[in-house]
Amino acid sequence: MAGHKNNHLIETARTLLLHMHVLVVFWDVVFLTSSHLINRMSSTILNGAIPHTLLFPHDHAYPIPPHVFGSTCFVHLLSLGHDKLSPLNQVCVFRLFSP
């Protein structure tokens, strides 16, 4: 059973790495994201239930809506000393959904 779970985790991480063209140096982030997503997907073993919902029935599965791994996101800059013409955000690439 643990071997099947490990293979599922590796296959999901490999899919994220290859499909989104993520560098291999981010393998740790990819595995964290993969396990986070797997724990929030319905499972046939649990008759369609979501593992996270069974463990934490009062928590939302996604407190923040999930984003596409590798998509563009905008980070709001909170640093002081901005004038009226300074940029208020910075374009980044989404790489981790932290639970």
Domain membership flag for residue 10: yes
Domain membership flag for residue 61: yes
Predicted local confidence at residue 99, as pLDDT: 46
Domain membership flag for residue 57: yes
Q: How many domains, the chain?
A: 1
Q: What is the 3-state secondary structure (H, E, C) of the chain?
A: CHHHHHHHHHHHHHHHHHHCCCCHHHHHHHHHHHHHHHCCCCCCCCCCCCHHHHHCCCCCCCCCCCCCCCCEEEEECCCCCCCCCCCCEEEEECCCCCC
Domain membership flag for residue 24: yes
For 5-61, write each residue's pLDDT tens digit. Answer: 888 888 888 888 887 777 788 788 888 888 888 888 888 888 888 888 888 888 876
Domain membership flag for residue 98: no
Query: Could you tell me the residue range of the domain that residue 54 belongs to?
Result: 2-93
Query: What pTM does this model have?
Result: 0.56
Domain membership flag for residue 99: no
Predicted local confidence at residue 75, as pLDDT: 73
